[in-house]
Amino acid sequence: MNRPNTIFRALPPVAIAAVIALAAATGCERSGNNTTAARNTASADLYAVEKSDFDMAIPVSGELAAMRQIEVRNRLESRAVITEIVSEGKSVRKGDVVLRLAEEEIREKVKDAKDKVNVASSELIAAEQSLSIKENTRDSELEKADLAIEMANLALLAWENGELVSKRQSLALAKETAEIDLSRLEDRFNKSAQLVEKNFISRDEFEKDRIAMIEARAKSKQAALDQKVYEEYTYKQDRAKKESDVEQAVAERGRVEQKNNAEIVKAKADVESAKFKVESATDRLKNFELQHGYCTVIAPSDGLVVYATSIDSGGGGRGGGDAQPPQVGTELKPNELVIILPDTSQMIANLKVSEALSGRIRPGQGVTVYSDALPNAPIKGSVHSVSVLAASGGWRDPNRRDYTVRVALDADPALGLKPSMRCRAEILLDRVDDAIGVPIQAVFRQGPIAYVHVREGSGYTQRLVKLGRSSELRVEVLDGISEGDRVLLREPTADELTAKLDFEALQAQFAPPAATTNAAPNGPPAVANSSADGGPAGVVPVGDGGGPNAKPEAGDGKPANGERRGDGTRRRRPDGSSEGGPPPSKGPAGEGGTHQTPGVTPAASPSAAPAESPAKG
């Protein structure tokens, strides 16, 4: 593996120049004999530790898009045929015509709809007039019925207070007159009987008096009978008739009112039906007029004309890249997407960020974007938002999860940026000032333990380090090395390694107190024994088996899960990322997965670091 070449390929031009300058300043270490020269490391693999400033940035990639875009769809519900369409790629202004559709069929429908509105309006007027007439008729007939009731009541009162009284008086007078006349004629007859016996009058006169008396008696009986018949029969009959006339008049009024109300209800229903027909016809007319307006599509704002066939038409376009672009004569489906008008005056970048890094992205963070079309024109921007849900990597990488970061760009319209342009970017998370740092390829990990290889004489010693913040290229070292130390930027060979850490002892030190069985009461957890020659704790010299706790497999280049192997590689997840860390980014230092991914594998926190850093060997 040619690690120096890999490093230089991954670094940007500025970093390459810095490394070359550093290599020139450091020089090369060579031995006088060929064997020693072969074992010495080239100066390009060494890094002189110094304090410096560096940015914590995440390299990502994505594509450009417009902050705002307008979809132009076929909004006709009937058959739609293009008669005029603006050319793709043309910039249009607000109010420009971008699409015209055939309007003859819609125009005929508008005309028919207007006729139906006029007919429905006429029917409504007729129904309202009929209702008005029926209401007037009802009022007139009710007034007539009320008058009939009043007349019947007056007739009853007139009979009770007039005819009845008069009849009774007439019958009483006739009876009384007949009785008086009978009494008079009976007296006269008695006197005539005495006179006829004395021959003072003739028998004929006597008979006349007797006949007159008989007639008077009959009249008296007839008068009494007339009075009795009237009181017992005729009076009741007359009263019943008069009262019946009143009741019939009242009933007739009810029938008139019910009949007219029924006719009015029907007339009102006819009016409502006519109104509904008018409203329905009017709505249909408005819809056709609206459809007629859809035949001419005006650009609602400035934008760049993009045909829907030029993009993935998941939003209802003509479908796929094989579809023919819309042209004059093309027939469109209802609601079919025809044109997209992105507003290129305000562009954004949709960047894909791995799930492990998404939690470090915040709105407002600075971003520098480089379009593939303009790689030498940096575009400043800031994080606008981060998607709520992650997108799957698809069938190619189903385990990968990426979040979309929307970056608002402060771009000059003269650059001619367009949607769907590919781009790369660096999201600035933070800045580390005046701190000891090393390139990320100098740091190795064994579980929770981070260490570097420090030049000690003619070989290299593994030294435990406490890490801080990191970027894609550098990582801050809080403790473990000092300025002037030289660290190796690759995995040393077996003959180059002079002392290595006792990882088992160190891992026991990092373990929770409950899991530490050899810890003394109230004392610190057990650590690795010192080397046989009095070396620093946790460091085992190479060559004679090491100290009493040294294990042959500890630090021998056989890493735990997610750590470096002896060849500088890592074990991989199914998604291609290193175990123990997130999916690899496409940044320079992450090529091939040979180095620790900065910003992904967290630096050892103060609580996880050992109480004291091992001393320099």
Does residue 335 share a domain with residue 242? no
Name the token pair of 216: 């008077």
Residue 365 and residue 222 share a domain: no
**Calpha distance 481→613 (Å, rounded):** 9
Query: What is the DSSP annotation of 466-477?
Result: EEEEE-SSEEEE
Q: Are 462 and 542 in contact (CB under 8 A)?
A: no
**pLDDT tens figures, 116-138:** 999 999 999 999 999 999 999 99
User: Which residue, among 51, 246, 249, 277, has the nearest Cα to 144 in the 3D structure?
Assistant: 249
| Contact call for residues 379 and 410 (beta carbons, < 8 A) | yes
Q: Is residue 609 part of a domain?
A: no
**Environment class of 139 (CB within 10 Å of its CB; exposed 0-12, middle 13-18, buried 19+):** exposed
Q: What pLDDT is stored for residue 136 in this prediction?
A: 94
Rounded-to-integer distance, Cα 435 and Cα 51, Å? 5
Domain count, the chain: 3
Crossing angle of helices 3-10 and 13-26, rounded to 10°? 140
Task: Please report where in the chains the tokens 């429905």 appear, as a residue.
Answer: 120
Do 11 and 489 meet the contact criterion of CB atoms below 8 Å apart? Answer: no
Three-class HEC string of 253-322: HHHHHHHHHHHHHHHHHHHHHHHHHHHHHHHHHHHHHHHHHHCEEECCCCEECEEHHHCCCCCCCCCCCC
Tell me the CA distances in angstroms from 179 to 137, 229, 232, one per residue in order: 60, 18, 21
The strand pair at 459-464 and 449-456 is best described as antiparallel
Q: Are 387 and 430 in a shared domain?
A: yes
The answer as to whether 611 is a domain residue is no
Query: Residue 494: is it exposed, middle or buried by C-beta count within 10 angstroms (0-12/13-18/19+)?
Result: exposed
On whether both 150 and 277 belong to a single domain, the answer is: yes
CA distance 264 to 134: 6
pLDDT at 539: 55
CA distance linking residue 384 with residue 374, whole number of Å: 22
Distances (CA, A) of 274 to 115, 120, 268: 15, 6, 10
Please tell me the predicted confidence (pLDDT) of residue 69: 87
Residue 486 lies in a domain: yes
Q: Is the dihedral of CA 79, 84, 87, 90 positive or negative?
A: negative
Segments of the chain with pLDDT less than 50: 1-39, 41, 313-316, 320, 515-537, 544-617
Residue 338's CATH number? 2.40.50.100
For residues 327 and 441, state if they share a domain. Answer: no
Instruction: Specify if 204 maps to a domain.
Output: yes
Within-domain flag for 289: no
Alpha helices in 340-493, H assignment, sequence order = 355-358
Residue (of 227, 230, 184, 240) closest to 209 by Cα position:
184
Same-domain pairing of 94 and 174: no
Cα–Cα separations (whole angstroms), residue 41 to 37, 464, 465, 557: 8, 21, 22, 18
- 606 is a domain residue: no
Contact present, 504 and 516 (Cβ < 8 Å): no
Q: Are residues 176 and 301 in the same domain?
A: no
58 and 165 co-located in one domain? no
Q: 168 and 24 in one domain? A: no
Which residues touch 525 (CB under 8 Å, ≥6 apart)? 508, 509, 511, 513, 516, 518, 519
| Integer angstrom CA distances of residue 580 from 75, 387, 524, 554, 562 | 53, 25, 28, 19, 5
pLDDT of amino acid 360: 86
Q: Is residue 331 part of a domain?
A: yes
Q: Which helix (H) or strand (E) holds 515?
A: none
Query: Angle, nearest 10°, between helix axes 235-294 and 104-158?
Result: 170
Name residue 389's amino acid: L
* In-domain check, residue 468: yes
In angstroms, rounded to a whole number, what is the distance separating the alpha carbons of residues 77 and 336? 11
Q: Report whether 271 contacts 117 (CB < 8 A).
A: no
CATH number where 187 lies: 1.10.287
Rounded Cα gap, residues 102 and 83, in angstroms: 6
Token code pair at residue 261: 């109300």
Domain ends where: 281, 306, 321? Answer: 281
- Of 231, 258, 281, the domain-final residue: 281
Q: Are 468 and 474 in contact (CB under 8 A)?
A: no
Range of the domain at 310: 74-102+296-342
122 and 219, same domain (yes or no)? yes
Backbone angles phi, psi at 159, to 5 degrees: -65, -45
Query: Vertex 164, ends 163 and 169: CA angle to 5°?
Result: 95
Would you state the pLDDT for residue 173? 93
Do 136 and 267 sit in the same domain of this protein? yes
pLDDT of residue 390: 87
How many CB atoms are closer than 10 A to CB 577?
24
Helix (H, G, I), strand (E, B) or coil at 152: helix
pLDDT in tens, 17-60: 444 434 443 443 433 443 444 445 467 789 999 998 888 888 89
d(CA 199, CA 601) in angstroms, rounded, equals 174
Residue 27: CB atoms within 10 A of its CB come to 8
Q: For the chain, how long is the longest CA-to-CA vector? A: 215
CB 438 within 8 A of CB 49: yes
Dihedral over alpha carbons 197, 198, 203, 206 (to 10 degrees): -80
Q: Are residues 480 and 496 in the same domain?
A: yes
Q: Are 461 and 586 in contact (CB under 8 A)?
A: no
**What region, left, alpha or beta, does residue 241 occupy, with left being phi > 0 and alpha being psi -120 to 50 degrees?**
alpha
Q: Is 447 helix (H, G, I), strand (E, B) or coil?
A: coil
Chain-centre distance for alpha carbon 449: 47
